[in-house]
Amino acid sequence: MYQPTSSGNGGASQSNGYHLQGEGHVTGRRGSRGRSRDSSSRVFQQQDKERPPAPCTDFDSAYFHSYAHLGIHEEMIKDRARTETYRNAIFQHQDRIAGKVVVDVGCGTGILSIFCAQAGAKRVYAVDASDIAIQANEVVKANNLSDTIIVLHGRVEDVDIDDKVDVIVSEWMGYMLLYESMLGSVITARDRWLKPGGLILPSYATLYMAPVSHPDRYSDSVDFWRNVYGIDMSAMMPLAKQCAFEEPSVETISGENVLTWPHVVKHVDCYSTTVHELESVSTKFKFKSMMRAPFNGFAFWFDVEFGGAPTYPSNNNAPPEFVETVDNHVTDTSQRKKRPNPSEALVLSTAPEDPATHWQQTLIYLYDPLEVEQDQLIEGSVKLSQSKENPRFMNIHLEYESGGRSFVKESVMR
């Protein structure tokens, strides 16, 4: 999907380590720890010598470069569910932001940084590894916010700031929530800069999956070849299946396509999740079909919740563990953390029954549909892991069985 970057809403890695000045010119040198500012803007880049960051790979460079394209940011900003929920969340937590220091991880055009400034933030560090940071700096100046917002052109792993921060805001979610691995940069920012008791927006995220029926998609992509202008081209069908269904598909479905109640694949607590924990996510599932229909594949979607910071008893700072109950709800088994009342927290959902977003839903199609009866079980497991070739890619390993037949489906989201 088009997401904010892993340390920036995109970007060319060649920009990492450089200072931006008022007119967007490149000055300074790589790795400089000095702060460079002019009278019209506050933009600087530093490197943390105490904790050398992981090197920026060619894959990172290509990823960051993709986010220099304005069309990506236009699509995200025009996603009203996304942008308005972030704005509402920022102002809902205005009492935690006013007079405080904020870092915006993957600032893109700077719109979330500006929302934070409008909410009264004392200082906002807007970090982005993409060249879009140059335009973000111009947007900041055009809105007379250069005294409040400092644009940092570089990776979160590379830049340094003088302050500890009170708030982290970031639009880090990728397709299937974890694609693009940008959450790792939010975790890096959290561990480097966030004060104890600080606020992270969004605070929690949950990835769901469910079996779906979508015969129209199968008909359009595969059955089409049975009769083409009166010609039997069914010999093309095996290739058509491979081309259409080998890789995950990002598209919009409706609640009517979903065959069962959803299953929680992963709950993410942004206050305690580690980078290592995100390298591989796996879960077992058991679904019961609510209807008789073709079973065409699995859909994935996510919610994020803009709640307050968790509170831990003073005698136990360990984060809680979350497990899935039989009804697929996430439960805090340790009872150590007190989450805000969910009814009071803003939620941005990409579920099929909710207003469409630019994330849509991600579908893993079966090569051949299965007919399932009402109450028929569909069970198995799914593993999502970062690709060893490129950690921003996601390997998907699905094992499932239904009606006495077992299958394995492997695909890569790239």
Sheet strands (E) in 236-390: 249-251, 263-269, 280-288, 293-306, 322-324, 330-332, 346-349, 361-372, 377-386
SS3 193: helix
Calculate Rg over the CA atoms of the chain: 23
Query: Where in the sequence numbering do the catalytic residues fall?
Result: 171, 180
User: How far is it, in rounded angstroms, from Cα 337 to Cα 346?
Assistant: 19
User: Is residue 362 exposed (0-12), middle (13-18) or buried (19+ Cβ within 10 Å)?
Assistant: buried
Give the dihedral sign, CA 148/150/156/160: negative
> DSSP assignment of 232-251, as one string?
--GGGHHHHHHHHHSS-EEE
Domains defined along the chain, listed by start: 13-201 (3.40.50.150), 206-413 (2.70.160.11)
Question: pLDDT of the chain along its 414 residues, tens only?
Answer: 333 333 333 333 333 333 343 333 222 222 222 323 333 334 444 443 344 667 777 666 565 566 656 777 799 999 999 999 999 999 999 999 999 999 999 999 999 999 999 999 999 999 999 999 999 999 999 999 999 999 999 999 999 998 899 999 999 999 999 998 899 999 999 999 999 999 999 999 999 999 999 999 999 999 999 999 999 999 999 999 999 999 999 999 999 999 999 999 999 999 999 999 999 999 999 999 999 999 999 999 999 999 876 644 333 333 333 333 434 443 333 322 334 455 578 999 999 999 999 999 999 999 999 999 999 999 999 999 999 888 889 999 999 999 999 999 999 999
Beta-carbon count within 10 A of 224 CB? 14
